[in-house]
Structures are given as structure tokens and as C-alpha cells.
Amino acid sequence: MSKVKKEGHKGGGNWKDFFHVIRKMRLPWHWIIIAFLCNFLYNRVMLDLPTVTAGLMSGSTDSQALVDAVWFYVLFTLVLCGDVALRSPARHVAARNIRRVIWKKMLRIRMDYYDGHNPSDLMSTMTNDATTATEYLVEFLVGFLPTIYYVAAALQTISSYNVWLMVSVFLLLPLKLIYAVFVGRWQYRTQFGVFKEIGSLTAYLAERVRNLMLIKTYTNEERELKNGEKTSYGLFDANMKVNKLNCVITALTTLLGMAQVMVVMVFGVLLLKRGDIDIQQWVAFYMFSGTLSTSFSNLIDYWMKLKSVQGAMARTAELLRAPEEEEQEGKREEKGAGTEVCFDHVSFSYGDKEALKDVSFTIPEGSSAAVIGLCGSGKTTSLSLLEHFYEPQEGTVSLGGVSVADIPLQALRGRMGYVQQGADIFSGTVREALTYGLHREVPDEEIWAAARKTGFAEILEKWDAGLDTPVAPGGTSMSGGQRQKLVLTREFMRGADVLLFDEPTSALDAAAARMVQDTIFDTFPDQTKIIVTHDLSLIRRVDQIIVLDRGVLAGCGSYSDLYGKCGAFMELIAACQAEKEAAKC
């Protein structure tokens, strides 16, 4: 994993990654080709623009020239609109496609990848970077060649007026190149630095606002006021840096523009005086020199953007190369396989950090087991191994006598129910939350029947909208106990054979915890249940207790087997000594 990270930090990126991503990202080629043709046409029409305008400007006043000019402008408008209109679908469709590709990939990456890469960070940087990069790329594909065509053709037209005019165009070219490359880079770097500064200052202010309650409790308003002032002045300075930068750039651009005009004037007027060109050609040349410098800087811009695309693509390529969960052919679910869970000498580590060491235990079909231990003792990891989110380095994890690695993922996870501490619920309606993951249309009667079974119906009846009651993101519109009941109802409908609970009661108050506990045992009497918990009141109700201590199996057996015999178990019990003594009095 650390190796992957290092490669990621290298930045830059190479062309191999670049083409790898391009192959995968499904660019909308038909849109790109249409936009390319449009852009080409636009550049073609642009070529005639100076000549036509110059015809008007040079004082030819016959009405035919005027009518021609007006027609030409109408054509120009149409082509311009077409170019803008058709370039935009190419860009947005490409962005849409890359978003789809990335999201699809993110849903299929193996879970261990996310241990080293925060999915939220991945998501935001990836979607923003990747979509901007894609848009740049499309711009490049659509605009680069037509612009080159325009430059070449314009130079040819100018040289047809007079060769010296063309030479004058190149006179300022080196200066412009230096300006575009160096100033562009310098500008980018300075702005990047300043934006980073602005970002961190803004983050500071945001954090304070989020914790205003704390500030009030600690009556620290005066000092925070001063801090906020200091930060605001910092923001002011940073913004002024950008402002000064803009001034320098304006100055440079003005100077360059002036030099341009001077060259055109001096050369043009000299040639005009000698009679080598006429006034119409001079005006056309004057206009060409303007559009040409725009085209030159566009070309440089295209190239520099392409370079930045390369960097972003390297990171995208890394993501797209991340290992996926494999769905091998030939895996076949054995019909009627049992639900006995067996860990056979399993060792597992996250990178260098050992999580489980040579752990073996068996949970018989239909029984319940509690996994207990301190934080970081590998409890949750063992659940993840059972769901085959990770591959153990040694040993095998099996379900019903078959190694989980040999069961198709869909079938394996379809047989397992999973309830966690925070009760994960997506926003939507209660109906959607209850039928999540059922992969079929469910009649309301079935939902109500299940809800009655778990006692969720009592809660549901209180809500006016019933099953259509909206659920806030993360289920925050419900209390912890209600959320857990909802999730248990969902599991009941899914009809899983094996139920995994990851601290189902730890976020609840005593009464709610009790209620959820009862629901678990009443609703799922015959299923194999594995409960990771800190809640010692749960452990007396299970058939078997598995004690983990820093990744090592410290004990396994019933409450009476372990009581007084297993050191780690007694330590955990002792930590609750106060509770116990209190209960006696």
C-alpha cells in the first residue's frame, strides 16, 4: 500500500497512464468529431473575417460589398453558435462518462484499498480533477488542430500580401512564447499558493463557526474575535497578493499589445508608403495580427492544459488500476450449504499492522456468538473477513464448510445480514430504507408484516405518512433505537442465514439497548448470529463468547467456561466491576 502511495505522490504522470485512462474513460467520440468539424468550419470562416471587414473599413462603399459583408456576418454568427453549441455536449457528456466510470469503479474496488485512501477524499478530488481534466482534454481534441490550421492559413494569407509582413508577425513570437510559458507557469504557481492559503484560512473560520457553542461555554468570545480578525486580515493579504499579480499581468499584457501594434504600424505604414500593399491589405493585416496572437496563446494554453491533464490522469489511472473484487468464473454455490462459520488458523494484517494472528474458532449453525475485546483487538476485522472484504494472509474462513473465497461474492453477501452501530440508512422514504438491498418489488403488506414482527410497526403507526415518511440523510430524523429497529426489520425481510452485528447497541441508552437486544433474539431465533460488542449485558445471552486480545484468540466458550479461567475475559469483566457492585446495593 505504501508503494502505491509513493507512486501517487510522484505526480507528473506518464503517457502510459494517460492512454490507459483514455481507453477506459469512454470518450463520446461522435460528439467530439461533430464538435471538431464545427470548430474547423468556424476557423475557416474566421479566416475570411479580416478580408471582409477590411473591405468595409478601407472605404469601398459600393452596396454589393455591404450586402456581401452582412451575409458573411450572418454566416459567421451561425457558425459561431454552432461551434459553441456543439462543443458543449462533447465536454459535458465526456465529464458525465468519466464520473460514471469512476463511481462504477469505486463501487467495485476491494475494501482494503479504502483503508489507505479515504473514500470521501478520493471522491471529491477524483470527480473534480477528473472531470476538469476530461473537459480540458475534449477542448484539446476539438480545438488544437483547427487552431493550427487557422494559424498556418492566416500566415499564408499575410505572406501573400507581402513576405515582410509575415516576418513581422514572427518578430514578437519569441517574446510571446516566453510570456505564455513562464508567466503562465509563474502565475499558476503563485495563485496555487495563495488559493491554498485562502483555503486554510477559510477552513479556520468555518471550524470556529461550527463550534460557537464551545466558544460561548468557555466565554472566549473576545479572543476568538481577535483571532478571527487576524485571520480575516490574513485573507485580505492573500487576496491582495492575487490582486497585485493581476496588475503585473495586466501591465505585461498591455506592453505586449502595444509592441504588437507598434510593429504592425511601423511595418505596415512603411510597406504602405512604398506601395507594396494597399490600404485594405493593411487593415486586414492589422486585424490578423490581433487574432493570430490570440491563436498563438490558445495553442500554448491547449498544450499547458494537456500537461495538467496528464497529472490528473495519473491519479485517475491509479484509481482505475486499484484491485477490484474478483468474481471468478467457475465458482458455484453449493446448494443447501450450511451456515456453520469456521475460522481456521486465520492471520491477517493491514499493510504492516497485524490485526489477527492465527485465530481459529467455529460457530455452529443456528447458534449465537459474541466477539468481545478492547478497541483494535480485531473484532470488526473478523466480520470483514467473513464477508470476504479482505483476503486473509494465512488460513481460511469458511461458511458451511466452503471457503468464502470459493463462494461467489453476490451469493455470499446475499446470505449475510449486517447491522452496525450507526445504523446506516440512506435518505429517502422509510419504504426505500426498509426495502434497501431486496432487489425486488415488495408489497406493503409484506413490509408491515415484517415491521410487526420486529415491533417497528408501533413506531410506523405513529407517523402520519407511514411508509412514505421521509428519512433525513444518515437517518438523523429518527432516534437511535428507531433506526436500529428499522435496520433489523430490513434484515428480517432480506432473510439472511447469517447475521453480523457490529456494536448494535452501543450508541443507545439503556432502555433502547435493551429493546434492541430483545428484538435481535426474538426476530432471529434460528439464524447464526455473530455480535461484536462492548455491551457486556449481551454476552450472557449468547451460546458462545469469543475473546480477542490484540488480534490473538484469548478464549472461546460459554460464559461459565470462561469465567474465572480466561484472563482477558476477566479483565474485561473487571472493568465493569463498578457497575456490578453498584447493582448489588
Partner 1 sequence: MLRQIKDYTKIFKGIRLPWFLILLVLVISMIKSHVEVEAITITASIIDGTQNSIKTDELIRYIEFQLITGGITIAFTYLTGLLLQKINLAVRLRMWNKMMRLPTSYYDSDNVNELVTRVTTDAESAGNYFQLLIDIFTAVYAGIVAYQKLFDFQFQMALASLLVIPVMVFITWLYGRLTYTAGAAARTRLASVMGYLAEHVRSIRLMKSFCMEGEEQKKARGLFGRQCKADILLSYTSMIQLAGMEVMGCLNIVISFVLGSRMIASGDLTVGKLIGFYTLCGLAVTRLASLCTSVGTFSQNAGIMKKIGQVLDVPDEKEEGCEMDVADEDIVLDHVDFSYQSAKVLRDLNCSIPKGKVTAIVGTNGAGKTTLFKLLERMYDPTEGTILFGKRDVQDFKLSAWRKSFAIVSQDKPLLSGTVRDNILYGVERKVTEEELIHVAKMANVYDFVMDTPGQFDAQVGPGGSNFSGGQQQCIAIARAMMRNPDYLLLDEATSNLDVKSEKTVTEALSNLMKGRTTILIAHNYSATVFADQVIVLCDGQIEACGTPEELLRTNDYYRTFAHQAAEAGK
Tell me which stretch binds partner 1 (CB under 8 A): 143-151, 152-160, 257-265, 290-298. Answer: 257-265
Tell me which stretch binds partner 1 (CB under 8 A): 77-85, 160-168, 351-359, 522-530. Answer: 77-85
Residue 440 lies near partner 1 (rule: CB under 8 A):
no
* Shortest Cβ 156–partner 1 spacing (Å): 25
Candidates 33, 111, 152, 173: give the one binding partner 1 (CB under 8 A).
111
Candidates 1, 177, 251, 465: give the one binding partner 1 (CB under 8 A).
251
Nearer to partner 1, 3 or 584 (CB): 584
Give residues with Cβ within 8 angstroms of 122, minimum separation 6. Answer: 106, 319
Compute the distance between CA of residue 35 and CA of residue 82 in angstroms, rounded to an integer.
9
Candidates 211, 360, 393, 558: give the one binding partner 1 (CB under 8 A).
211
Residue 375 lies near partner 1 (rule: CB under 8 A):
yes
**Phi, psi values for residue 12, rounded to 5°:** 40, -80
CA 153, chain centre distance (Å): 43
* Shortest Cβ 373–partner 1 spacing (Å): 9
Residue 183 lies near partner 1 (rule: CB under 8 A):
no
Segment 303 to 332, residues that bind partner 1, using CB under 8 A: 325
Nearest to 385 by CA among 374, 395, 376: 395
Nearer to partner 1, 281 or 310 (CB): 281
Tell me which stretch binds partner 1 (CB under 8 A): 87-95, 141-149, 357-365, 451-459. Answer: 87-95
Residue type, 392: P
Give residues with Cβ within 8 angstroms of 407, minimum separation 6. Answer: 331, 333, 337, 388, 399
Q: Strand pairing of 552-557 and 544-549?
A: antiparallel
* Shortest Cβ 361–partner 1 spacing (Å): 21
Residue 41 lies near partner 1 (rule: CB under 8 A):
no
Residue 213 lies near partner 1 (rule: CB under 8 A):
yes
Tell me which stretch binds partner 1 (CB under 8 A): 13-21, 171-179, 212-220, 462-470. Answer: 212-220
Binding mask 462-501 for partner 1 (x = CB under 8 A): -----------xx----xxx------------x-------
Q: Strand pairing of 470-471 and 353-363?
A: unpaired
Compute the distance between CA of residue 431 and CA of residue 413 in angstroms, rounded to an integer.
22
Compute the distance between CA of residue 475 and CA of residue 422 in angstroms, rounded to an integer.
9
Residue 434 contacts residue 493 (beta carbons within 8 Å):
yes
Residue 550 lies near partner 1 (rule: CB under 8 A):
no
DSSP conformational letter for 466:
G
Residue 366 lies near partner 1 (rule: CB under 8 A):
no
Residue 374 lies near partner 1 (rule: CB under 8 A):
yes
The alpha helices in 275-343, defined as continuous H runs, are 279-321
Candidates 58, 125, 159, 349: give the one binding partner 1 (CB under 8 A).
58
* Cβ neighbours of 324 (radius 10 Å): 13
Residue 88 lies near partner 1 (rule: CB under 8 A):
yes
Nearest to 188 by CA among 249, 240, 142, 134: 249
Compute the distance between CA of residue 180 and CA of residue 187 in angstroms, rounded to an integer.
10
Candidates 208, 321, 431, 452: give the one binding partner 1 (CB under 8 A).
208
Nearest to 289 by CA among 323, 311, 317, 257: 257
Segment 266 to 295, residues that bind partner 1, using CB under 8 A: 269, 272-273, 279, 282
